[in-house]
Amino acid sequence: MGTSAGHRGNRLTPHLRLHLLVAHGEPSMREGLAGIFRRAGYDVDEAGDFDEALVVLDKDNVGALVVSYKLPPDGCLALLDACQSPPPTVVLNGHAENVAAVAAHPTVRSVLTRPFPLQTPYDAVAKATRPGRTGEGATQPKGKADG
């Protein structure tokens, strides 16, 4: 599902070509985020719930996960615990719920609480998947919502 490297004249670096899973229960958020990552050159799969996400995570070589805290039915922590080998993870948290508990998971690199600029998840994935990156704890960027 990759896209060409010609978007807005930017050249893609090899780390941007990794396989990304966007797992979110709200179709508009999931599709919007997936579109942003595809335009940046990522190979993106989408999942609307726990079962769909687990199939992709356990079957495919996913390099990073962007997941909603409230992924139906049991949330992102249940997904991460059920996954055989969870990738570096960016959690989207709409209401600043349980940030410390989510941030404590060893694969969570960032917990993004709304509102945040649309660029923020992209930046968080790029940072989380840098070569040599280890679990240094999560961050909670603050920002104003776009539009």
Cis omega before residue 73 (within 30°)?
A: yes
**To which residue do tokens 């998971």 refer?**
105
How many domains, in total, are found in the chain? 1
pLDDT in tens, the chain (147 residues): 333 333 333 344 444 578 999 999 999 999 999 999 999 899 999 999 999 999 999 987 899 999 999 999 999 999 999 998 999 999 998 877 788 889 999 999 999 988 888 789 989 998 998 876 544 443 333 333 333
Cis omega before residue 72 (within 30°)?
A: no
- Is residue 146 one of the residues assigned to a domain? no
CATH number at residue 112: 3.40.50.2300
- Is residue 94 one of the residues assigned to a domain? yes
- Is residue 52 one of the residues assigned to a domain? yes
Give the CA distances from residue 17 to residues 4, 56, 96, in Å, rounded to whole numbers and listed in that order: 10, 17, 30
- Is residue 12 one of the residues assigned to a domain? yes
Domain that holds residue 106: 7-128
